[in-house]
A and B are shown apart, each in its own frame.
Chain A
Amino acid sequence: MKEKQRILKHPVLDFKRGRKINFHFERKGITGYENESIAAALFASGVKVFRKSKRFGHPEGWFCGIGKCSSCLMRVNGIPSTRTCITPAREGMQVEPQSAKGMLPDKTSIQVARKEEHVQVLIIGSGPAGLEAGITSRKLGLTTLIIDENPVPGGQLIKQTHKFFGSKEEYAGLRGFEIARIMLAQLKNYKGTYLTETSAIGYYPEEETGKHKFLAVKKQNDSYQLLEINADNIIITSGANENYLPFPKNYLPGIYGAGGVQTLMNVYGIKPGNRALIIGAGNVGLIVGYQLLQAGVEVKAVVEAMTHIGGYLVHASKLARLGVPILLRHTIKEVKGEEYVTGATIIEINENMQPIEGTEREMDVDLILIAVGLSASTKIPFQAGCEKMFVPELGGWVPIHNENMETTIKGIYVAGDVSGIAEASTAMLEGRIVGAAIAEKEALNPEASQRVKESALTELNQLRKSSLLKAVAAGKIKCQQKWNEAKNHEQ
């Protein structure tokens, strides 16, 4: 098979592919590279259909690319329901598609090591919020363990090739992946453990003492490590999930979320398609549109249901300059294709969001990118039992938290997108506030800690005066009021 989908030249990124490897898919040979996931290698070789759905037998393919959606489940070396998008491809692997349900695994053993950890601070997630919380808490003398389920630390940052907006102090002006590199270098100045490919799987406090305890699982090749993490404080910075969009045939391979597309092209250097249609003109849609152009994909149009562009004008003009039309008050009507997308029909809509017949337009595309907003990724705080509230300004349901970012469970904190959708600068500031607040509480360097916290708070409030973050500021105040109510109620 030809590797026509691989990006060989990119204006910003330089892909260092590992050694070539070969594995088997449906008994055919597939070539991939070391450090590449099975799904990415398959995609690069032109395999677009990964499974048939359970009930209707629909073709489905790559979607989230980060092990969350289950669209890529296959039988790998005799083990059913393997998430191939996060499983590295290895020499000689046997990969088979599985129809709906898995057969029993062939393997009769599983290698698991158990390890117990005791730390003052456990940080779950290593995006800008988690990394900054880590840097601050370590700087102030706390023993800190950071875990992230991704193989590469940095959260959203590593997938971004554009120069960030936000505050200079928080590295605005640099490209996302560069910010991640700088922050990681800073973190390395202090002692502490950092684990990748490690998923937090649940909060299980000690029965007698009520002490915090999280379970996490690290996967290493074919074996597992089960971590029982006893922590005095927990900072959850699990980021955000993408919103989906319901429309006819939305299951077809070729329709992907923005994150999945970014993972393919900016992490693995694989072109997600050749001609794209983007749904949603918020910052994510606009930025990924530009990234698609950088990767050599033709972008046919961006459609947006609203009457205005939600994202920054800088990003919109960049696309416009390159000849990409941004069609306001338009939506997707139909998708063409049997095994994967071969075209789409878009349509104009009126002020009541109803399609106007006769305005249909055919689009010759093989990629439809959905960028219709994010919601906080709250499974971890909600499973732990943190109280929640619906705050439209923060993107939906979020854990209730106070100015120190503490939830309604004492010693459990949140920071970044999981506490309300915002942006990277404020995520870092929130991370810094939590780190300092914990150090202050644990009476380590109380004066220094307080100073760090106060100055971060001042800066945060300043940033939130900008037009884009005003709503977030209002949402955060609602949350803090609710937190106070909950605490008064307790007493």
Chain B
Amino acid sequence: MKKTAEVIIIGGGISGCTIAYNLSKENVDTVLVEKGSLASGATGRSGSMIWNIWGTDPDKELAKLGLSSTRKFAELEEELGYDIEYTPSDYLTIVTPEEEEHYRKAMAITQKNLGLHIEYLKPDEIKKIAPYIDVDNNPVVGAYHLCNHRINAGANPFYTVEALITNAKRAGAKIYTDTEVTDIEVENGKIEGILTTKGKIKTHTVINAAGAWSSDVAKMAGIKIPTMPYRDEAFVTEPLMHLPYLAERGDIWWRQEKNGQIIAGEETHIIRKPEYNAAASLGPLQRPIHTIQQYIPQLGNVNILRHWGGFEDVTPDKLPIVGEVDELKGLILACGCDGFGFSFSQAHGKLITDLIVRQEKSKVMEYFNLRRFARKYREYTGRWYDWP
């Protein structure tokens, strides 16, 4: 094991791996430590849908940042020289009567912020492009349609992480898997190194990309952060021939993988008991299963092959926590990615690299800083959610 490193990344999910690739490309002496295998956290369990996370956000900066991440994904295969099963797809968001107003507003915001052309389809028009969606027997008033922008897509999370790490290694990064970080050494307000199950590495800079475990890792350095682990569920079907649209209804998402399997789940926004039990659970899948069956009735007769759970890290305001910690300068946070960490990863990698290599901080980095949770900053972004 290496004895010292300029930067140590804790966590080998999509966040940690993207950061490792970006840093080592800029000749930063980088080490990544992962307690299991790469992508064994939320990343390998995710739906790995790529969409413009803040596309409908009134804040233009956020909207642009999200878009930059999805655009970067479209270039990734060529840049990394690897097939990551990137599959762009046209995107439909089915709109019900109660939601119509909300979506019309959101569309207008997207068009204004990003200059993208977005259509609103009537039920008959939905039938034409996606005849398998049952618009007649569901409360559908229309659909929000985004096409041909190479924004919405999917990718294989294992292949993506593999591609990033192969390139990072080539640029000199050292990757230690099956190695758990057990402590972060802090002396006189400065990070001195980390302890792992396989030995000690000296460093002054630690990046916490430990996803659902990020608050445990921060605690090792004596820092409290408000990320909470919560469980999300997904399932996958037997492969089917290509269905030309990614679709979504409310919080239910589904996408088709390159090999034809349909992978789906629900964004619950319910903060469950913080616990790390990742084995199968069926209850929370009932809603996505019902909704999908209701909108694509034929899928009722298609077999489910596997289902599983994974852990995301949620913050009170649903924005990630990115950047330096005021009280401990060498600790950099790259967590709080909720249900959008895969989509956000490419922007995430760039923000952290800009910070470390060029000490650059954009306006969004202010939104994302941990200090927003201190009492006096509470109303800072105006996005406070109920927190248990």
Contact = CB atoms under 8 A, between A and B. Distances in A.
Asked whether the complex places CB atoms of A and B closer than 8 A, the reply is yes
B238 interface: yes
Contact of A101 (B132, B260, B283, B303): B260
A80 B240 contact: yes
A209 interface: no
Contact of A81 (B134, B238, B280, B298): B238
A204 B282 contact: yes
Interface string B294-323: 001111111100000000000000000000
B280 A204 contact: yes
Interface in B222-247: 238-241, 243
Interface string A76-114: 000111000000000000000000111111111110000
A204 B296 CA distance: 27
Interface in B193-227: none
Nearest to A102: B240
Given A202-B280, A204-B281, A204-B282, A101 B298 contact: no
A97 to B, nearest CB: 14
A215 B307 CA distance: 14
A101 B241 contact: yes
Chain A, interface residues (CB within 8 Å), range: 20 to 34
A383 B281 CA distance: 12
Contacts of B303: 81
B239 A101 contact: yes
* Overall SS of chain B's interface: loop
A102 B302 CA distance: 9
Given A202-B280, A204-B281, A105 B298 contact: yes
A103 B259 CA distance: 13
A239 B235 CA distance: 28
Contacts of A101: 239-241, 259-260
A396 interface: no
Interface string B242-265: 010000000000000001100000
A173 interface: no
A215 B280 CA distance: 13
Contacts of A104: 132, 240-241, 243, 296, 298-299, 302
A385 interface: yes
Nearest to B239: A101
Interface in B140-173: none
B270 interface: no
A102 B298 contact: no
A202 B302 CA distance: 18
Contacts of B240: 80, 101-104
Interface string A346-382: 0000000000000000000000000000000000000
Contacts of A54: 239, 259
**Most interface-central of A102, A109, A204 (chain B CB within 10 A):** A102
Contacts of A107: 298, 300-301
A376 to B, nearest CB: 21
B303 to A, nearest CB: 6
Contacts of A100: 239
A54 B238 CA distance: 13
**Most interface-central of B241, B296, B299 (chain A CB within 10 A):** B241
Contact of B297 (A81, A109, A202, A215): A109
**Most interface-central of B260, B283, B297, B301 (chain A CB within 10 A):** B301
B302 A105 contact: yes
* Overall SS of chain A's interface: loop
Given A101-B239, A204-B281, A106 B298 contact: yes
A193 to B, nearest CB: 24
Interface string B120-138: 0000000000001010000
A109 B298 CA distance: 7
A105 B280 contact: no
A108 B280 contact: no
B94 to A, nearest CB: 17
B1 interface: no
A214 to B, nearest CB: 12
B301 A79 contact: yes
A84 to B, nearest CB: 14
Contacts of B301: 79, 105, 107, 110
B233 to A, nearest CB: 13
B279 interface: yes
A385 B243 contact: no
Contacts of B279: 385
A102 B300 contact: no
A46 B296 CA distance: 38
Nearest to B303: A81
A106 B243 CA distance: 14
B306 to A, nearest CB: 10
Nearest to A81: B238
Interface string B275-286: 000011111000
Contacts of B134: 108
A100 B241 CA distance: 9
A103 B301 CA distance: 12
Nearest to A55: B259
Interface string A313-354: 000000000000000000000000000000000000000000
Contacts of A383: 280
Contacts of B282: 202, 204, 215
Interface in A197-220: 202, 204, 207, 215
A206 B247 CA distance: 33
A81 B259 CA distance: 15
B297 A102 contact: no
A110 B281 CA distance: 23
A258 B135 CA distance: 50
A373 B259 CA distance: 33
B278 to A, nearest CB: 11
A109 B280 contact: no
A294 to B, nearest CB: 37
A79 B299 CA distance: 10
Contacts of A108: 134, 297-298, 300
A242 B304 CA distance: 24
Contacts of A79: 301
Nearest to B238: A81
A156 B281 CA distance: 33
A474 to B, nearest CB: 32
B125 to A, nearest CB: 20
Contacts of A385: 279
A136 B297 CA distance: 46
Interface string B173-199: 000000000000000000000000000
A438 B283 CA distance: 30
**Most interface-central of B283, B296, B298 (chain A CB within 10 A):** B298
A109 B132 contact: no
Nearest to A98: B241
11 contacts: A54-B259, A79-B301, A81-B238, A102-B302, A103-B241, A104-B240, A105-B298, A105-B300, A110-B300, A204-B280, A204-B282
Given A104-B302, A105-B301, A215-B282, 18 more contacts: A54-B239, A54-B259, A79-B301, A80-B240, A100-B239, A101-B260, A102-B238, A102-B239, A102-B240, A102-B241, A104-B241, A105-B302, A107-B300, A108-B297, A108-B300, A109-B297, A202-B282, A204-B281
The 5 closest A-B pairs by CB, nearest first: A108-B297, A110-B300, A105-B301, A101-B260, A101-B239
